[in-house]
Amino acid sequence: MTHDPAGPQAPENPHADLLAVLPRITQLSAAITKGRLTERAADAAGLALDRPAMGVLLSLRTADRALRIGEIADRMQVVGPHVTRQVQTLEKRGLVRRVADPHDRRASLIEPTGSGTEAANRYVTSLLGWFAEALADWPRQDRDDLARLLTRLADDVTARLARFETDEETEAD
């Protein structure tokens, strides 16, 4: 039997590349949270809204149509009653309104009012301005790569998580 002077070799970690990225994802999340980026953007936009209400308004802003409560909840990855409370707050502030669902008279859709759209646009402008400043020294190709890769990562993670939920629902039946 021969003796390896370097000692036993640990099996190569098949996820070493991802393990190196994980602390950076955590760092980015912590920096955004600790830096209160969403709150600062809301303040800069003149909005006294909490993060969940802002999430509803942004979901509506990025949609190409009015949405049902359940659709907003899906986009935000929260439960419907949570969205209902936020919609009620936004309605009282005149930022969203309920409209009849043309496909189901029993249901209503939520859409931003003109004021809601303006508020969401101010918020997005503030948020994007912050990120633009952070990336100002990056070459155009690096910014394009970041956008492409983040989009791909978000889409793939979302799709994978949706499959988990579908599998769990199938197992429960």
Segment 33-70, tens digit of pLDDT = 887 888 888 888 888 888 889 999 999 999 989 999 99
Could you report the per-residue pLDDT of 120-169, keeping only the tens digit for each? Answer: 999 999 989 989 999 999 999 999 999 999 999 989 988 998 887 777 67
Reading phi first (left if > 0) and then psi (alpha if -120 to 50, else beta), residue 10 is in beta
Q: Quote the distance between the C-alpha of residue 21 and its chain's center.
A: 19
Beta strand segments in 20-160, E:
96-101, 104-112
